[in-house]
Amino acid sequence: MMTNSGNVLTQGQFSFLPPLTDKQISSQLKYALNNGWAIGIEYTDDPHPRNTYWEMFGNPMFDLKDPAGILMEINSCRKTFPNHYIRVTAFNSTRGVESPTMSYIVNRPKNEPGFRLERQEGVGRSVSYTIHSYATDKPESERY
Amino acid sequence: MSKQSKNSASSSDVLIDLEAEFQASNIQEVLEKLDRELIGLIPVKTRIRETAALLLVDRVRKQIGLSSGAPSLHMCFTGNPGTGKTTVALRMAEILHRLGYVREGHLISVTRDDLVGQYIGHTAPKTKEVIKKAMGGVLFIDEAYYLYKPENERDYGAESIEILLQTMENNREDLVVILAGYKDRMDKFFHSNPGMRSRIAHHIDFPDYGPEELVSIAKLMLTSQNYCFSSAGEDAFGKYIRLRMQSEHFANARSVRNALDRARLRQANRLFSGIKKSLSKSDLITLEAEDILASRVFLNNSRDSNKLIDSGEANKT
């Protein structure tokens, strides 16, 4: 159920590709910086697709010129949460846009159990569906 | 350049055109600009030339596969106020950028306030924020000795120094740190922070300017503002500078700039209150001797009023 190639979570950009190397992350960051987007680092252990607001790791970073500083921050986040999902979000603050323009996962737990599909029978023969992350059966911080 | 790197690995007797490399880096342009726009400072310019040569040779060596590790480029500029430390730091960022040792070539200029926090736990994020901004460029710490306050052992400056040292060591290829300050206080600072001293490879001392150099600086400043001296005005300014150098709180080029600002004020006043109603262009751009001679420096018994003017300069360093 809810599986895909490699059995990994597919959210955001590049999620069907093998994990990005630091060099590849750097050039993606550089692209965002060249566009003047602010970059934030976020983490979570509840990767349900509807869970859009992940925890922020530090403040979003404005006015940077070089990806080295952000990579430093990503690595310190990886060190703090080695078994969480970590993503990088670029935010475009242009008036009228004001929304994230890039988002990609840079760190995953070693083992990703995935999701199961739950069926709920309703009135008549109608069925409503929902997905449920196996990991969230455990309490927070013990999930992965 | 690409041709050289292609066949370089195979043969050890490959010839490298250092001249072509030099041209390609556009470094000459920056060095010439340095020569043209900075008067005097011979030891500084020699040192910058040497550093540029080293970096260029290093780059060529890297092309033929002789690696020698990223050189430590952290610097310390010492000198009296107004000797051009900040200006040279800006140029340095440009030179390092041209040679490809920093990726972006921007300069972030900070002082103690930007690095040290006000309460426990405030310093580290603040310092890191600044470091992140400076990544890929040059971090210029003005009056770096204020970071360390030995009289207060609970001061957070030490924490900031610690983080700086760590980044200077680990992120050598991402960041160049330039410390600046007065010579004696910097020496004291290094004495109490030996780790800082050993991590800085280049110590450059900025000498004071002589009176002739200050006059040429004044002329250069005026040219950039579309003004000029009349010949009598230039003589008067030479006299003014010699007197001014003896008085307290003399801040080299900064004092010259302030003196010129005051002279412009007097010139405007002279033109405004003058009898001549139609002004030519040369009237508008020329500073006459009387604009300079009206300065308080020429009044013998006015040392106190001098101090009043100049205390502002001294605080602003």
pLDDT in 10s for each residue of chain A, 144 residues: 345 666 788 899 998 888 999 999 999 999 999 999 999 999 999 989 899 999 999 889 988 989 999 999 999 999 999 999 999 999 999 999 999 999 999 999 988 888 889 999 999 999 999 999 988 998 888 888
Question: Residue A90: how many CB atoms within 10 A of its CB?
Answer: 21
Could you tell me the pLDDT band of residue B13, with boundaries at 50, 70 and 90? low
Contacts of A63 in chain B (CB under 8 A): 133
pLDDT tops 60 at residue B315: no
* pLDDT computed for residue B107 by the predictor: 93
Q: Between chain A and chain B, how many beta carbons pairs sit less than 8 Å apart? A: 36
pLDDT tops 80 at residue B311: no
Q: How many residues does chain A have?
A: 144
Could you tell me the pLDDT band of residue B300, with boundaries at 50, 70 and 90? low
CB contact under 8 A, B132 and A65: no
Of the candidates A103, A113, A102, which has an alpha carbon nearest to the alpha carbon of residue A1? A113
pLDDT tops 60 at residue B312: no
Amino acid sitting at position B108? I
Of A63, A66, A73, the CB nearest to B103: A66
* pLDDT computed for residue B96 by the predictor: 86
Specify the DSSP class assigned to residue A104: E
Of A61, A68, A73, the CB nearest to B174: A68
Query: Strand, coil or helix: what is B25?
Result: coil
* pLDDT computed for residue B301 by the predictor: 42
Contacts of A74 in chain B (CB under 8 A): none
* pLDDT computed for residue B308 by the predictor: 44
Of B125, B132, B171, the CB nearest to A64: B132
Q: To the nearest whole percent, how much of chain B has pLDDT over 70?
A: 88
Query: Strand, coil or helix: what is B165?
Result: helix
Residues 6+ away with beta carbon under 8 Å from A69: A61, B131, B132, B133, B135, B174
Of the candidates B288, B310, B181, which has an alpha carbon nearest to the alpha carbon of residue B243? B310
CB contact under 8 A, A70 and B132: yes
| pTM reported for the whole predicted model | 0.79
- In angstroms, the CA A26 to CA A20 distance is 10
CA distances from B88 to B41, B75, B80 (A): 10, 12, 14
Mean predicted confidence (pLDDT) in B55-81: 83
* pLDDT computed for residue B14 by the predictor: 65
* pLDDT computed for residue B108 by the predictor: 93
* pLDDT computed for residue B295 by the predictor: 82
Task: Nearest chain A residue to B131 by CA: give it.
Answer: A69
pLDDT tops 50 at residue B8: no
